[in-house]
Amino acid sequence: MDGNGLNGDWLSRPPKREVQKMAARIATERVLWGALLVGVTAISTHALFSKPTPVLAQPNNHGLPDQSLITHTQVLGDGTQQLCVVDPRQHVVAVYHIDAAKGGIALRSVRNIYWDLRINHFNGTTPLPEEIRSLIEQE
């Protein structure tokens, strides 16, 4: 013992309460580092081995795989938005004009294009399809 009635161990050993606090802090740090390691491993594994998700939406060409409707939008010179809707099953095209300022929508035109698509030429210039065909057949 020293002159104060204390032995010299109190300088080299921390009190029991301090040891418990340090042990709890070390255990907490180990748990946090372990959780971080598990999280990084899981994210890395997912990023490396998962397949990318396909994106179906494409701007200005919104055809669906089941071919229910196809749409196309375009802004006209006066600021009006034009919306074309094609129904491939019924062979119909509809054109709408949308007034962005007022929110109005107006049907401008509807047409069945079944017979249009069966014409060989219309307003065509030479050489016409039949002329090209006959030239190729002559070779």
Q: Is the pLDDT of residue 91 over 90?
A: yes
In a domain, 133, yes or no: yes
pLDDT band at 3 (very low <50, low <70, confident <90, very high): low
At residue 85, the pLDDT reads: 94
3-state secondary structure of 94: strand
3-state secondary structure of 60: coil
Q: How many CB atoms lie within 10 A of CB 44?
A: 10
The reply to whether 96 and 125 lie within a common domain is: yes
The reply to whether 13 and 67 lie within a common domain is: no
Which domain does 20 fall in, by range? 9-49
